[in-house]
Structure 1
Amino acid sequence: MNPSSPAPDDDPAGAFERAAPPALMRNRAFQRFWGARVLSSLSFQMLAVAMGWHIYALTHSAFALGLVGLAQFLPMFVLTLVVGHVADRYDRRRIAAICQGVESVAALVFAWGTFGGWLSAPLIYLLAACVGAARAFESPAISSLLPGVVPRPQLPQATAWATAANQTAQIVGPAFGGLLYGIGAGPAYLACALSFALAAALVVTIPLQTKPASRAPVTLESVFSGIAFIRSQPVILGALSLDLFAVLFGGATALLPVFARDILHAGPIELGLLRSASAVGALAGTIWLAHFPLRRRPGAAMFGGVIVFGLATVAFGLSHSLIVSLVALALLGASDVVSVVVRLSLVQLRTPDEMLGRVSAVNSLFIGTSNQLGEFESGVTAGWWGAQRAVLIGGLATIGVALLWMKLFPELRGTRSLEREEPTPTTAGA
């Protein structure tokens, strides 16, 4: 999610292997960036667990769980074109800090309403929408901030370490959120508020090596330029849309409270473990890719990862055992990281510097669509057919999408490198 033009490197995941962490981690700017990203991701994961369990405890409705995802997605969808231009024109540190401050205030309102006993389902939807709007601005700003934080030769390593930090937060956050919610909803929300506030304090003090924004005139063409660029790149478009539909149909995250409470007969602590399991698998997948990098045929590897993702989703939908469910979710996360690495690397290595904010905003929309709108889709289908059947159908649909995309995007299937491939010149008269 950090599009740029670093020195040629067809192995971003291999940054762990080459690891320049000593020099990189002594970089004060990167330390603050890394800390802010971890704290923000940690806070959001804790908040997601708390909101999910809270709304299900109030309503006992899978459809209500889906509405939480929809409430977070709609602001992102509406604001996509605006947030990209904002990230390209203004100080990205201040944008991220303001957004994290808004998220901290929203978490405080959650805590206040919980302690006061007046937090209702409609208010949860409203606060979820506020968080969604803040993250719509925060995501492209923080994604396009990294090239101004570290020297360009260290960008692949910095991207890998930032991704690993995010995955670690996705492991710790849900488990910690479930543990705190087991103590009480109020303490869980207060912890989220504090973590968001610390992230804002860190990000606003990051020293930059380059100016983070350009003040080019705003035109209709420039507003839509991020979308136009992606449409002109079939490999990037194929990777983004494949990842979108795979998680849209196959994502079972929104239904985890239903599975934990009604199918696995577990509590909020186990819910936190379920939400952490896929991130554990993703971190393991990242380490695997560090030792066995995607040097050849990354598109084919992405299709394989999506198919395994669908199969793991089916296995989770059939499970009535906590252990089996955790293993299935871990396999789901490990296979998904292949798609994530390919997608992020393609965007990072094939996008011009001046398009950072706008392309990142569109990329964030694709991610938000697959996650938040996927939660809504899961909630709706679970309301119609039941949670287990909805997950099974979603997993099978994911496999179908991967097979269809192989035919629709042969450029992605046949791509030989993560970097832009120059067309092979033909010999005159051949």
Structure 2
Amino acid sequence: MTVDHGRTVEAARVGTGPLITRNSGFARVWGAQLLSQSATRMYQMGMLWWVLGQVVAGERGMASGIFLACAALPPVLFAPWIGRVVAAHPSGRVLRGAVVAAAAIGLVLAVVALVARLPLVAVYPGMLALASCQALFDPCLTKAIPELVDDADIENATAFEQSTFSLVGMAGAVLGAVLVGVAGPLLVVATSAAAYLAAAVVLGPVRFRPVESPEADADAPAGVLRTWRMLASRPFIRIALVCFAAANFFITATFVVLPLYTKDALAAPSTTLGLLEGALWLGMLLGTFSGARLPGSPSRIGAVCVALFGAALVVPGLVADRTVFLLCLLVAGWAVGATNVVFVALFQRTVPTAAKPAFFATMLALLGASFPLASLVFGVAGDLFGPQTLCLIQAVGLPPIALVLWLRSGRAAEAARAGAEEPRI
């Protein structure tokens, strides 16, 4: 690893202990990410269950689909603006501004819920606004990892960053479901606002070190379209993004299917929904910390994991049993977590530093574009078909994508091999 004289001592300490004990700045940023995403997930889970209780059975699919689309639209709608903001402003300022804005939104919703019954129509724009703040926070944090850790710690930092989605998925799913069951929407929005405020406090003392890009003059794309053209010289990454965007359509539909499955197939309370989502996120957490140890190229790992997710949904599509579904979601989550850490670490190493702000905003937009579409499509389908049928539709849709990823990424690697081998993690 090449380092300057000012970082030699710090680099020499890499691997002497857990990253979050060696690097207080990264530990604080990771803690803020845990708090921020937990708040967003608590609101999403708690208010989704509340919404389903406010509508009649024949409209639950559409109601949940629209709500989840509101949670997924901001990274897609605002991707060019997000990329510019993340590139133009210091990372610390962007991260702090995002959580402070989210806290303000949460406080407004809490006041409305306190003085009057929270209207159903306010829940949807609330989700859209909070998701917009999170859509700014997440790519900025990804871009800021090299500003907080040394090169040799990038995989470790990426694992922690990716594990946040799983940790808050478990905590947010369970806590959001419990809070809305105990005290309705007021406790959910108030707790979320408090978590955003805590994230802002934790971020306060963190200092970020600017990372100079030696290739900034030669390769400095400034937007989503220019980023996509930049990827033309990196066919493996471009094909991987397209395949995972297609796979995400079926994978993220799980968040639409789970509440419908809980209410209709299992006839269970909100706590069961929390357990089911918790199993999915626990699997992601396990996959996040084991994915970097898997043998083989990223393309092969990704193809196998996409196929495994589809296979895991076949059984609950045939048998409506809570324990069976919990185990299947654990396996499916592991497949997603393993894929995420392998590919995000790959992107950190292969995408030029100057291109990272726009690239990560583009990546989230491309992958996230399938979520609102899946929410609406599977939401409508949920009013026409049973939730077990929806599981089988998901299972059937993923293997062809896995096959394309396996074959096409292999060809891309062969085409690039004249200059360099396909990157391995």
Q: If the length of structure 2 is used for normalisation, what is the TM-score?
A: 0.85
| Number of the residue aligned with 1:232 | 233
The one-letter code matched in structure 2 to 1:156 is: E
Distance in 1 of aligned mates of 2:232 and 2:377: 26
Contact 2:143 2:357 in 1 (8 A): yes
2:23 equivalent among 27, 51, 67: 27
Within 5 Å, which residues of 2 pair with 1:23-172?
24-60=20-56, 61-172=60-171
Distance in 1 of aligned mates of 2:278 and 2:420: 45
| Number of the residue aligned with 1:13 | none
Q: Cα distance, 1:207 vs. partner?
A: 0.9
Distance in 2 of aligned mates of 1:362 and 1:344: 13
1:270 equivalent among 246, 269, 272: 272
Distance in 1 of aligned mates of 2:417 and 2:107: 49
Query: Would the alpha carbon gap of residues 366 and 317 (structure 1) be closer, same or farther in structure 2, given more than 3 Å must change?
Result: farther
Q: Cα distance, 1:269 vs. partner?
A: 1.3
Query: Would the alpha carbon gap of residues 388 and 283 (structure 1) be closer, same or farther in structure 2, given more than 3 Å must change?
Result: same
Cα deviation code 1:12-31 (max 9, x no counterpart): xxxxxx95434652322112
Distance in 1 of aligned mates of 2:369 and 2:192: 24
Instruction: Report SS of the residue matched to 1:384.
Output: coil
| Number of the residue aligned with 2:404 | 404
**Structure 2 unaligned regions, length at least 5:** 4-13
Distance in 2 of aligned mates of 1:415 and 1:170: 38
Query: Would the alpha carbon gap of residues 213 and 120 (structure 1) be closer, same or farther in structure 2, given more than 3 Å must change?
Result: farther
Cα deviation code 1:365-384 (max 9, x no counterpart): 13322444433332122233
Q: Cα distance, 1:295 vs. partner?
A: 4.1
Query: Would the alpha carbon gap of residues 415 and 376 (structure 1) be closer, same or farther in structure 2, given more than 3 Å must change?
Result: farther
Q: Cα distance, 1:267 vs. partner?
A: 1.1
Distance in 2 of aligned mates of 1:339 and 1:271: 25
Query: Would the alpha carbon gap of residues 356 and 288 (structure 1) be closer, same or farther in structure 2, given more than 3 Å must change?
Result: closer
Query: Would the alpha carbon gap of residues 213 and 404 (structure 1) be closer, same or farther in structure 2, given more than 3 Å must change?
Result: closer
Distance in 2 of aligned mates of 1:107 and 1:23: 32
Cα deviation code 1:192-238 (max 9, x no counterpart): 11111111222243111226999x99xx9622322222343221122
Query: Would the alpha carbon gap of residues 27 and 137 (structure 1) be closer, same or farther in structure 2, given more than 3 Å must change?
Result: same
Within 5 Å, which residues of 2 pair with 1:331-410?
331-410=331-410
Q: If the length of structure 1 is used for normalisation, what is the TM-score?
A: 0.84
Query: Would the alpha carbon gap of residues 211 and 337 (structure 1) be closer, same or farther in structure 2, given more than 3 Å must change?
Result: closer
Distance in 2 of aligned mates of 1:363 and 1:353: 15
Contact 1:89 1:213 in 2 (8 A): no
Query: Would the alpha carbon gap of residues 148 and 239 (structure 1) be closer, same or farther in structure 2, given more than 3 Å must change?
Result: same
Does 2:250 correspond to 1:249? yes
Per mean C-alpha deviation after superposition, the further-off stretch among 22-31 and 293-302 is 22-31
| Aligned-residue RMSD, C-alpha | 2.9
Query: Would the alpha carbon gap of residues 143 and 64 (structure 1) be closer, same or farther in structure 2, given more than 3 Å must change?
Result: same
Distance in 2 of aligned mates of 1:403 and 1:26: 42
| Number of the residue aligned with 1:318 | 318
| Number of the residue aligned with 2:10 | none
Cα deviation code 1:148-188 (max 9, x no counterpart): 11233322222223333442222222112222222122212
The one-letter code matched in structure 2 to 1:180 is: L
Distance in 2 of aligned mates of 1:162 and 1:333: 16
Distance in 2 of aligned mates of 1:408 and 1:377: 27
| Number of the residue aligned with 2:287 | 285
The one-letter code matched in structure 2 to 1:57 is: G
Count of aligned residue pairs for this structure pair: 402
Per mean C-alpha deviation after superposition, the further-off stretch among 361-370 and 103-112 is 103-112
Contact 2:159 2:341 in 1 (8 A): no
The one-letter code matched in structure 1 to 2:150 is: P
Distance in 2 of aligned mates of 1:139 and 1:421: 33
Distance in 2 of aligned mates of 1:213 and 1:123: 44
Distance in 1 of aligned mates of 2:396 and 2:19: 46
Cα deviation code 1:339-367 (max 9, x no counterpart): 21232122112101111211110111133
Distance in 2 of aligned mates of 1:122 and 1:231: 43
Q: Cα distance, 1:117 vs. partner?
A: 4.5
Per mean C-alpha deviation after superposition, the further-off stretch among 115-124 and 98-107 is 115-124
Distance in 1 of aligned mates of 2:353 and 2:262: 44
Distance in 1 of aligned mates of 2:319 and 2:121: 32
The one-letter code matched in structure 1 to 2:291 is: L
Does 2:410 correspond to 1:423? no
Q: Cα distance, 1:320 vs. partner?
A: 1.5
Instruction: Report SS of the residue matched to 2:267.
Output: coil
The one-letter code matched in structure 2 to 1:344 is: V
Per mean C-alpha deviation after superposition, the further-off stretch among 300-309 and 127-136 is 127-136
Cα deviation code 1:30-57 (max 9, x no counterpart): 1211111111121122122112102111
Distance in 1 of aligned mates of 2:399 and 2:410: 17
Distance in 2 of aligned mates of 1:142 and 1:287: 19
Distance in 1 of aligned mates of 2:407 and 2:68: 31
Q: Cα distance, 1:116 vs. partner?
A: 4.2
Instruction: Report SS of the residue matched to 1:172.
Output: helix
Query: Would the alpha carbon gap of residues 355 and 378 (structure 1) be closer, same or farther in structure 2, given more than 3 Å must change?
Result: same
Query: Would the alpha carbon gap of residues 301 and 155 (structure 1) be closer, same or farther in structure 2, given more than 3 Å must change?
Result: closer
Instruction: Report SS of the residue matched to 1:68.
Output: helix
Cα deviation code 1:296-350 (max 9, x no counterpart): 2321121011001011123233332111111111111011123212321221121
**Structure 1 unaligned regions, length at least 5:** 8-17, 426-430
Query: Would the alpha carbon gap of residues 117 and 19 (structure 1) be closer, same or farther in structure 2, given more than 3 Å must change?
Result: farther
